[in-house]
Structure 1
Amino acid sequence: MTHHAGDALPAGLADWIDVHAESLDTDATFAAQVVPRLGRAGLFRVGVPHALGGAGGTTVDAIEAIASVARHSLASAFVFWGQRTFIEYLLQSANEPLRVRWLPALLAGELAGATGLSNAMKYLCAIEPLQMRATPLDAARARFRLDGALPWITNLRREGFVVAAAFDRHDGAPPAIFAVPHDLPGVARSDDLDLIALRGSNTAALTLDGAELDETCLIDADARSFLVRARPAFLGLQCGMSIGLARRALDAADGSSAPVRAALIDDVIALRHELNALAGRLYEGVTSGTFVAAPAAQFELRIALAAVVDAAARLDVQAAGGRGYLRSHASRPTPNDTARRSREAAFVPIVTPSLVQLKSQLAQQQRGEAA
């Protein structure tokens, strides 16, 4: 079994997540604890420069950290992705006062950071219009009234969050990205969405009705150029969820009884080889910056990784056999991890941008090139 540097979570954290993984998937009992625990373990500081309070390293190190959490719980990794992606926006923003204001609490896990930019990523690919609007309130365009709704955002911790969202301007200026704090008048969080899994991820809808912010809360005045720069990290960090879940499912298949293992070993080896190759290509592209100009190459990797997760989860189920279809059994009164991983794997294709959206994007591009 290949060991990956990113697998080594602090023992206390790994144990806590393992004990609560089933609950984090099926209800919101421990939803409030995920961000503080990941923060105390120092995970949000991975890939953040020392000068800004981080642990140093690269975006690839952060992807590996998300993968190491996804091995134990995809709900926890999903929250980690939301938090780390928001942190990434602050790192890539030119607004230094905004960084100074929010980064310390985000890195410590005292405040949740949420990326409401899924709609904006789809807008960037011309899949849907922006669902939020910013109206200037003064001649200098320094204050804005924000309105609109986003139907699905993860990591909206009731205990406090700040969310990134893109707004159409309607005054001739390009769409802008703001950091919107939870306690701003006019900001409302819905009840948690009634998900079939990942229910501990603080996923809810957000409505803005006459919320007012000034330009000190601007992540970037030009959403399109910012998103093009930020998308490789947004998607790369998201791929960490797939990488970790696939590794764990393959380890589970690998760890089954000798006869079962003998029957599945060729498939396990082939998938592990493919997974390592895809991760290698992802890390190379994120590091070199080639995905900024060639997003299609990264879209293809995201699609290929989702296929590996799907195949790995099926091997996990085959290895578990009939007992994998029992909620729990006499020799294992604990919850059924195989079933949880199957539910988690079912989520991978629909995370925004979904596989359907990416595939239609690629097809559009190929038609364009053919023309």
Structure 2
Amino acid sequence: MVDSITAPAPTTAPVAGQGSAPDFDAIRAVVRETLAPLTLKIDEGYYPAEVLRALGAAGTFRQHLPSQNGRGTVDIQAALTAMDIVSQECMSTGFMVWAQDVACWYIEMSGNEYLKETLLPKLASGEALGGTALSNPMKYLAGIEPLLISAEETEDAFILNGTLPWVSNLGVDHWFGSIFKVGGENPRDVMAMVNTSWPGMELKQLAKFCGMEGTGTYALSFDNVRVPKSHVLGDPLLPYLKKIKAGFVLLQTGMATGVIEGCINLCEAVEPRFAHVNCYLDDRPDELREELEDARELIEALAGDVFNTDKDFMRSVLEARLLGSELSLRAANAAMLHTGASGYLHDAPAQRKLREAYFVAIVTPAIKHLRKELDVLAAA
């Protein structure tokens, strides 16, 4: 149950209006017809660009964007529902939906009209693809590790150098948001959109993971990469980050709820055969579903207020994200135990869901990162 976490009363967030209603059936059709036949291949390392473009054409990436969704309002809940639908089938793809959503969110929440007119429509439609690259900066801002990208400022650009270990949803001519430390006469942190095909950028695959292999995850090397000032998102950085952070973190809960729903479905599917013995297991599907619906109710309340600057609101967002991680692990464990030996097969959905759930728990902000931030908020 989640009654220990409550969402503060809404303050200034816009309410989703009438206008163009989300077409979740179109997204479900893409999942059923285009994604599902490729799920095992994606799990083994295939990057599904065609699936992402089809999801974009179905409206998946534009739901939270007032300039692109036809409703003129921030609708985080619609974006979460779309991500949930995708993640029930394949959370690798659900994770890439989050990465694409956040790349769009960066631009939508900036004051950069050039990017809003040129790049944002392409990202929102899936014509252009991209990721986030904020794992290291988020850890830097939380006091966990140093910022890994540095820059020199010129009259019309920043020249970037350094290496980022893991950035996802990337490939040739993809986009990502980068935060870098500027030296010189005006030292500060700045955020900008960067293209993987710009001179000096190099993508390297340095490791093979036990899951999430089809997510276009690379180490990025910056060797005097010139980033035009026309691509800056946040300068100064902190006011911009305060604007995007709640949405950035809360959007990840769509991955979690989708994985949890998928795990519950696996448990329910074996009830006709195994209920007589599975009844002795903890975390039964009806119990998990009740907790999931409580979590969804909490997340929906938070999604309607993402510009709330109150400390208690941000604490609720972090707690909801932590809840998603913890419940994902419990649900995936239950799916393995409820399905038994059949869930342990090489291509079984249950073992894939277990690996996906651990990713929910370790992707930035990881469980330990979330608990650290919550501890800092409690002490403030």
Name the TM tier (shorter chain): 0.7 to 0.9
- 1:19 aligned residue (14, 37, 40): 37
* Rounded Cα–Cα distance in structure 1 between residues aligned with 2:269 and 2:316: 34
Contact preservation (8 Å) 2:283, 2:330? no
Deviations 1:119-141 (A, max 9, x none): 22222222222111121123xxx
The Cα RMSD (Å) is: 2.2
- Which residue identity lines up with residue 156 of structure 1 in the other structure? L
| Aligned pairs for 1:112-123 within 5 A | 112-123=129-140
Shift of 1:308: 1.0
Partner Cα separation in structure 2 for residue 164 and residue 284 of structure 1: 28
> What is the CA-CA distance between 1:339 and the residue it aligns to?
1.5
User: Do the aligned partners of 1:320 and 1:338 also contact (CA within 8 Å) in 2?
Assistant: yes
Offset, 1:233? 1.1
| Cα distance in structure 2, aligned partners of 1:297 and 1:45 | 25
Distance across 2 between alignment mates of 1:245 and 1:59: 18
**Equivalent position SS for 1:128:** coil
Residue in 2 that maps onto 1:183: 197
Q: What's the CA shift for 1:265?
A: 9.5
Q: Is the 8 A contact 1:121 1:227 kept in 2?
A: no
Whole-Å separation in 1 of the counterparts to 2:88 and 2:36: 9
Aligned CA distance change for structure 1 residues 239 and 96 (closer, same or farther; 3 Å):
same
Distance in 2 of aligned mates of 1:210 and 1:281: 45
Residue range with higher mean Cα deviation, 292-301 or 88-97: 292-301
Match of 2:304, SS state, is helix
Matches within 5 A, 1:163-242: 163-170=176-183, 171-191=185-205, 193-242=207-256
Which position in structure 1 is the counterpart of 2:157? 143
Letter in 2 for 1:182: T
User: What is the aligned partner in structure 2 of residue 37 from structure 1?
Assistant: 54
Distance 1:304 1:187, change over 3 A: same
CA deviation map 1:16-58 (0-9, x unaligned): 2222111111122x43333222222221122222xx3434360
Unaligned regions of 5+ residues in structure 1, if any? 328-334
Q: TM-score normalized by structure 2? A: 0.86
Report the CA distance between 1:10 and its aligned residue. 3.5
Q: In structure 1, what is the Cα distance between the partners aligned to 2:30 and 2:318?
A: 35
Q: Is the 8 A contact 1:32 1:157 kept in 2?
A: no
Matches for 1:40-119 after TM superposition, within 5 Å: 40-49=57-66, 52-56=67-71, 58-119=75-136
C-alpha separation between the residues in 2 aligned to 1:244 and 1:8? 17
* 1:163–1:179 CA contact under 8 A, matched in 2: yes
Task: Write the letter of the residue equivalent to 2:340.
Answer: G
Within-5 A mapping of 1:209-288 = 209-258=223-272, 260-261=274-275, 263=279, 267-288=284-305
Among 362, 366, 372, the alignment partner of 1:350 is 362
Stretch deviating more after TM superposition (70-79 or 252-261): 252-261
Corresponding letter in the other structure for 2:54: R
TM-score (structure 1 length as normaliser): 0.88
Structure 2 vs 1, CA of residues 226 and 261 (structure 1 numbering), >3 Å: closer, same or farther?
A: farther
Deviations 1:317-348 (A, max 9, x none): 12212222233xxxxxxx31111111111211
**Equivalent pair of 2:53/2:126 in contact (CA under 8 Å):** yes
Shift of the alpha carbon at 1:15? 2.8
Percentage of matched positions with identical amino acids? 27
CA distance in 2, matches of 1:22, 1:265: 29
For 2:52, give the aligned amino acid. Answer: V
Distance 1:322 1:275 in 2: 26
Deviation at 1:83, TM superposition (A): 0.6
Report the alpha carbon displacement of residue 104 of structure 1 after superposing the two structures with TM. Answer: 2.1
Conserved in 2, the CA contact under 8 Å of 1:254 and 1:265? no
Instruction: Using the TM superposition, name which of 187-196 and 76-85 deviates more.
Output: 187-196
Q: Is the Cα–Cα contact under 8 Å of residues 13 and 37 in structure 1 kept in the other structure? A: no
Letter in 1 for 2:224: G
SS of residue in 1 equivalent to 2:102:
helix
Counterpart residue number, 1:332: none
Point out which structure has higher relative CO (alpha carbons under 8 A, 6+ apart): 2
Equivalent position of 2:18 in the other structure: none
Moved over 4 A (4+): 5-8
Q: What letter corresponds to residue 377 of structure 2 in structure 1? A: Q
CA distance in 1, matches of 2:344, 2:59: 37
Task: Give me the whole-angstrom Cα distance separating, in 2, the residues matched to 1:178 and 1:253.
Answer: 44
- SS of corresponding position for 1:9: helix
| Cα separation, 1, equivalents of 2:371 and 2:240 | 23
Match of 1:293 in 2: 310
Q: Which runs of 5+ in 2 are unaligned?
A: 1-22
SS in 2 for 1:205: strand
State the alpha-carbon separation in 2 of the partners of residues 257 and 273 from structure 1: 17
